[in-house]
Structure 1
């Protein structure tokens, strides 16, 4: 008798239920999750022109609309993930790789990278803006004085609509601010501290990554710390590890104003510090409660899960950190204690790039798509807009986390989940192969399954003999009766 394990979330308790499905035993250490729409929602693209990438690097909530930037197209949902719409080059965008987005109805603006460029030699393709909810688009660039967003190394990392102004943070040209209603721009250069001026190499001087503005006070996340202005960029204060005020870390990709005088700044790596020491990761997150006079630092030793912080938001008195590898960390007491949300709580991945809130719900963008929480981050509903429910003729599949670490102490990384759509009952075979093509593990052997909107099969990193496989790249082949085989790659690290 086949035992299917259905994992349900009830409060903070995982309840395991088993029931009969078909004859014949499943291999040991294999589990199946039958995901109802409340657990993994397969939103349908309302206009299927291309497929939005599932790697989401930025998102913003504008009333009921969520805009999100992906590696292939700009996405939008205005019904909490029931349907999605994608905007691509064929819709008027300058290109399909989106770096950042902001929206204030009916205006939406986003940064673009040339899809033919390769990191680290990114080539910007401008900033695109629409004043009619994405129906038509106009390009902003050097012809408007916005000189830091087109060409090699000229990339917009953040765009902000604030009152009647547009602010743009660029990779090598610092900041740009619009100066009229026809989108003419002027360059703004933050003034660094004397300590920083003595240390800085000119090549790093103008790297800016994120902007947050509240009540006329602007904070800018930079290559070497934070810059603050209260007069629109005329004068600046700068905060860094060199200044002895408690700030930790160098590369600062994100900053968030939580309340008056309360600011959080996330650091990341790898980087070389001010003393020529190499660091694989960042220094966690810094917080000030006095407008930058003093700082307190929180890192993995405090329970945030990762020292690389990609984005920050807050809801009430609770701050939320989007981390690389640690999921979402959150604290309701200004960092004294921390809790974390992981893939066990419904996150599609532990690599979380961005996070935002509308005051009631939280949204995150990860390497594996969107997720939403309505209970303060305790549980999450994941959205996979790359798999359409019932699309049994096209069994597209994904594998996550990828890479995964079978022997890791982090439970969320101990299994790799292979997810696919199954619209009608079919016989299914799923096998793992090594790089040379030799069969390593049979997860499903002509098992009769379905119908399910989404099926998830877990691999624990062991072969058919129960031994952990070696580090390396492995492949899975998913064979669903009556459909072409589907393939995927999985990286294993012990």
Structure 2
């Protein structure tokens, strides 16, 4: 039997907004820039959903597959439109410290009955050799008869087995996070819930968490609820705590973030205690937990906590230094996507920038203008989805590019910005993207080259009648190769007004060299 209500998760879910990123609030895995090369000086996508760093190696999860650099970002290998990855985007990237493997979770859009586009979990890939070879693992799918599980005394002998909804489709069964204990892989999936594997994904076991009504469970309890993330033909149970979005392990302790709070197990996933907004005096800000991070230096757990259904819940950051007994909350109202840790500092990737604290949350500071001095390009997006660090390098991933800061002090140092784009063919070539262009979505990027030598560059935008609309840069020093980062135009004229729809032209002047021209279509 196919459970039709699984296709209605978006409608039934408390999370109604959607973006074009591979994050828990994103159910459309699209990217505006289609690129197909596999080796370059930049990642293949501008949408960076996850970052992990291991010494000189940087792994990126993007809306166009996986990208990896083995030299701190000087060169990139991209896995997209390959036999191992196809055209899937990446919803999670994780390093297994126990065996040295890197695991990624994949997802993509798919059309369902009625023409609606919904996300589909595309399983996992893992590598032991830096991506030279990949092993594929299918997304866990239940058979129609997989409607029970054994838990403690609820083993079918002493007491009946626990009823469990079979998730018989990959639709909405997207994995948003992966974690490891020794010999065990743990995954957090929206429809699929919390699962574990002891044989590298050949088989999976469903893990029972407390219902929305219970704060804890143990094997000696009589279980009277079903493992079920949404009500439907299977039953009336509708547990937000069975919709999983994040997971982290601290030695053998496991923390699993759901739409119903943070679940903690100190016995390798057998017994669980739940922390939510209403069951503690010093509680988390909200029950929808989209991200978890742990600082080994000060043994502090950080959580991106959002409002789920409670009237008093709020968006923000929650942290604990005593294993969840008490929580502090910060950045009230901020929509958090992910965390990065640099020594004792915590970086929080949000819709309003990358907030950073060096004093455990007493104050939070955003970076100043993120400008690549070599290329002159700025990363103007305020929406960040990921962050990481290694040594003096800080990495920030947005929906409009990747940034690396080689630090000399707190948010001080040299920025390098990576934009995904095809190289121009020659110094006399230029193009812009996306085209057609809408400033409601992103800035226009203008790609050109100076042949690797320094020149004074002027870029002007003209309307169809060749009247000057905007001077983007004037006599600016630029040194650009065929594959360097582009310039940006925000779609506004000299007075700051949004230009109307229509055909526009741009002209690039290079010192005394012949200018080059390009055409822009503005379509709001």
Structure 2 CA distance for partners of 1:286 and 1:463, relative to 1, 3 Å: same
1:257 pairs with one of 281, 294, 306: 294
- The farther-off stretch of 64-73 and 108-117 is 108-117
2:207 corresponds to: 188
- In 2, the alpha carbon distance for the partners of 1:138 and 1:455 equals 33
Of 93, 105, 127, 1:111 maps to 105
1:160-198 deviation digits (Å, cap 9, x = unpaired): 344332221111121221123573221213224636799
Pairwise CA RMSD of aligned residues? 4.2
2:160 equivalent in structure 1: none
What is the aligned partner in structure 1 of residue 326 from structure 2? 294
Alpha-carbon distance in structure 1 between the residues aligned to 2:42 and 2:82: 10
Q: Aligned partners of 1:395, 1:371: CA distance in 2, in Å? A: 24
Preserved contact between residue 419 and residue 457 of structure 1 (Cα < 8 Å): yes
Question: Who is 1:226 aligned against?
Answer: 262
2:49 is aligned to 57
Q: How does 1:316-355 map to 2 (within 5 A)?
A: 316-324=343-351, 326-344=352-370, 348=379, 349-355=381-387
Partner of 1:211: 247
Distance 1:48 1:291, change over 3 A: closer
Corresponding residue pairs, total: 420
Where do residues 462-473 of structure 1 align in structure 2 (5 Å cutoff)? Answer: 463-464=493-494, 466=495, 468-469=496-497
Deviation at 1:68, TM superposition (A): 0.7
The aligned counterpart of 1:101 is 93
Q: Bigger CA drift: 385-394 or 150-159?
A: 385-394
Q: Measure how far apart 1:420 and its partner are.
A: 3.2
Structure 1, unpaired ranges of 5+: 1-44, 301-305, 406-412
Q: Is the 8 A contact 1:94 1:125 kept in 2?
A: no
Cα separation, 1, equivalents of 2:475 and 2:200: 62
d(CA) in 2 for partners of 1:311 and 1:474? 38
Contact 2:140 2:204 in 1 (8 A): no
- Per the TM alignment, residue 117 of structure 1 is displaced from its structure 2 partner at its CA by 5.1
The residue that corresponds to 1:167 in the other structure is 186
- Structure 1 contact 311–322 (Cα < 8 Å) conserved: yes
Find the aligned partners of 1:149 and 1:482 in 2 and give their Cα distance. Answer: 59
Q: Does 1:89 align with 2:81?
A: yes
CA distance in 1, matches of 2:477, 2:343: 45
In 2, are the aligned partners of 1:71 and 1:96 still within 8 Å (CA)?
A: yes
8 Å CA contact retained: 1:144, 1:185? no
Match of 2:518 in 1: 485
Contact 2:248 2:293 in 1 (8 A): yes
CA contact (8 A) 1:312 1:355 kept: yes
From the two aligned structures, give the one with the greater strand fraction.
Answer: 1
Alpha carbons of 1:185 and 1:258: their partners in 2 closer, same or farther (altered >3 Å)? Answer: same
Q: Does 1:127 align with 2:124?
A: yes
Give me the TM-score of the superposition, normalised by structure 2.
Answer: 0.67
Residue 406 of structure 2: aligned partner? 374
- 1:136-175 equivalent positions in 2, closer than 5 A: 136-141=133-138, 151-175=170-194
- Cα displacement (A) at 1:153: 0.8
* Rounded Cα–Cα distance in structure 2 between residues aligned with 1:72 and 1:136: 19
1-structure distance, mates of 2:406, 2:52 = 16
The secondary structure found in structure 1 opposite 2:85 is coil
Structure 1 Cα separation of the partners of residues 123 and 265 of structure 2: 26
Q: Quick one: higher RCO (CA 8 Å, sep 6+), 1 or 2?
A: 1
The structural deviation recorded for 1:54 is 1.0
Q: Deviation at 1:128?
A: 1.8
Q: Distance in 2 between matches of 1:159 and 1:394?
A: 44
Name the SS of the counterpart of 1:79 in structure 2.
coil
Name the CA distance, whole Å, in 2 between partners of 1:182 and 1:174: 15
> What CA deviation, in whole Å up to 9, does each residue of 1:201-245 have, x standing for no partner?
616342211222122122222223212112221111211112243
Paired position in structure 2 for 1:441: 469
Aligned equivalents of 1:235, 1:288: Cα separation in 2: 20
1:253: Cα distance to partner?
0.7
CA contact (8 A) 2:94 2:104 kept: yes
Of 345-354 and 208-217, the range deviating more from structure 2: 345-354
Distance 1:455 1:318, change over 3 A: closer
Unaligned segments of structure 2, at least 5 residues: 1-36, 144-165, 217-224, 231-237, 373-377, 509-513
Distance in 2 (CA, whole Å) between partners of 1:457 and 1:92 is 34
Pairing of 1:358-437 with structure 2 (within 5 A): 358-375=390-407, 376-379=410-413, 380-386=415-421, 388=423, 391-392=426-427, 395-397=430-432, 418=445, 420-424=447-451, 430-431=460-461
Native 8 Å contact 2:491 2:499 kept in 1? no
Kindly indicate whether the alpha-carbon contact (under 8 Å) linking 1:263 and 1:289 is maintained by their aligned counterparts in 2: yes
Change (3 A) 1:417 1:237: same
For residue 123 of structure 1, report the CA deviation from its aligned partner. 1.3
Aligned to 2:8: none
| 8 Å Cα contact 1:107-1:130 kept in structure 2 | yes
